[in-house]
A and B are shown apart, each in its own frame.
Chain A
């Protein structure tokens, strides 16, 4: 049995497909319930009840929504670049799913436990902007185009500070492997959200901008741009954008948990399945997303750029240099896996 799955071509293929499904199916279920969680959380913040009609406590609402978008008509506007118009939502969704290949859900439990996992995640998240830009351009609509332009500038700006945050964490760990990063926060070590607190704050805020979430949801800013880059989309193509957005949010939450909250490691040596700890941490960061959305008004565009380039960039660069200096002079610089 073991040799079939690890040595024969068909076996490896089947095993890979099974592993992929084992990650993607729960992620998509989580995504469906993330929308429910968001609506319930926002409702609680605003003293409403939220979805409560479909099933007990409205628990089947995500499925009702799914059936609704499946059965609607896909409209392709005249003058749109047809192939690119259809490619954009698929690209967004596929990229959001691709990132999950390297997320460790337990010690060494990842579809691909690669040495440059953190760079892979960074690369995939920086590609996410293409779905938005292509959608904006292919729609042949000025609102969509403006949304796409905003998104491009915003994501490029905030990637810079996210990059510096990642480099700081890599310096402290001495490895680019996500599994090693989690292990570095294991028993007897502080989580990085304490030792690198300013970087944690920078990452949390940049994460909001990277996911185009409130208060940085300018690419879709409905008060100025109707719905921004996906204004022309309907039915399934719209649903793919929606899926991509939430999958990205869960992925960024997972990344925040892995980098700063100890990933699947339990705090204080508490018992419990590693995957459940990771799930709990992801839920906490997701709640942070909704909490911010319910609390803050939308940023103005120049304020967004100012925050990215004039506050976060110098701050994260300074903290990077400080961390490197501290590690060098205290002799704590990790040697890394040879």
Chain B
């Protein structure tokens, strides 16, 4: 009795939330109702004894796919007024598509032939005390291995396609190169110099690097960025400006 009661409760919530997915005004609410629908579908699987399918449904659809879906919908700036106008415009076309689809489904349903021994097979699909998970694995990896691997390949192709379409190597953005960072040694970047008190680093010939002054320095035969110990003895040419404190 409890099982049938649970079945009707879950089914009612499932249908109700599925209806709310399409009628809800706020797209975020729609996605949340979709989650509720998935959850109740998982509960129905559980009632049917398909525990593995129920868990996988929750893990894959609720735990991963819908999170990303919600992620995108929350970021979207949807104009509800424009959507309403679109509804008026496309209502007739949508109606026709709906009717055709419904008619097809109807004919399929009417013409459906059930194998005479199917109900018996359905009730005893799992031999003995075998666990659900094991039974699925034994069917999936033996009889249907080709179809299973093919669907995996299709997903792989879709994934690679999505990456190719969206991944752009932006040369302007900053990336952290961990290997290069770790290979850097103190000697490559840092030099300890002793500075005479009150004189500043200009006395040692260290100037602030200034890219736009290359013209001046070309004349004096000196690099724009003079490092320590290199440029003490330049003859006659006026020294570039020393660093003038803070700017």
Contact = CB atoms under 8 A, between A and B. Distances in A.
A137 B74 contact: yes
Contact of A133 (B62, B64, B70, B128): B70
Given A119-B55, A152-B71, A127 B131 contact: no
Interface string B125-142: 000111111100000000
Contacts of B131: 115, 176, 337-338
A213 to B, nearest CB: 20
Nearest to A177: B131
Contact of B130 (A120, A145, A306, A338): A338
Given A130-B35, A137-B74, A123 B63 contact: yes
A119 B45 CA distance: 15
Nearest to B130: A338
B63 A149 contact: no
B59 A126 contact: yes
A73 interface: no
Count chain A CB atoms within 10 A of each CB in B55, B58, B71, B75 and give the residue with the most: B55
B71 A149 contact: yes
A134 interface: yes
A292 interface: no
B134 A303 contact: no
A156 to B, nearest CB: 6
A126 B62 CA distance: 8
A129 interface: yes
B129 A338 contact: yes
Given A127-B62, A130-B35, A338-B134, A119 B68 contact: no
A302 B62 CA distance: 25
Interface in B128-161: 128-134
Contacts of B68: 152, 156
B41 to A, nearest CB: 13
Interface SS of A by simple majority: helix
A127 B70 contact: no
B52 interface: yes
Contact of A119 (B32, B59, B71, B129): B59
Interface in A157-196: 159, 163, 176
A22 interface: no
B35 A303 contact: no
Contacts of B64: 126, 156, 159
B28 interface: yes
Contacts of A306: 176, 178
B63 to A, nearest CB: 3
A78 B176 CA distance: 41
Interface string B39-53: 000000000000110
B105 interface: no
A336 B70 contact: no
Nearest to A9: B2
Given A115-B131, A116-B55, A134 B63 contact: no
Interface in B148-192: 176, 178
Interface in B52-98: 52, 55-56, 58-59, 62-64, 67-68, 70-71, 74-75
A96 to B, nearest CB: 15
A30 interface: no
A133 B70 CA distance: 9
Given A116-B52, A338-B130, A303 B63 contact: no
A60 interface: no
A145 B35 CA distance: 20
A152 B73 CA distance: 13
Contacts of B129: 338
30 contacts: A115-B51, A115-B132, A116-B52, A116-B55, A116-B133, A119-B55, A122-B63, A123-B55, A123-B62, A126-B58, A127-B58, A127-B62, A129-B63, A130-B67, A133-B70, A133-B74, A137-B28, A145-B74, A148-B74, A149-B71, A149-B74, A156-B64, A159-B63, A159-B64, A163-B59, A303-B176, A306-B178, A338-B129, A338-B130, A338-B134
Given A123-B59, A152-B71, 17 more contacts: A9-B2, A116-B51, A119-B52, A119-B55, A122-B55, A126-B58, A126-B62, A137-B28, A145-B74, A149-B74, A149-B75, A152-B70, A176-B133, A306-B176, A336-B134, A338-B129, A338-B131
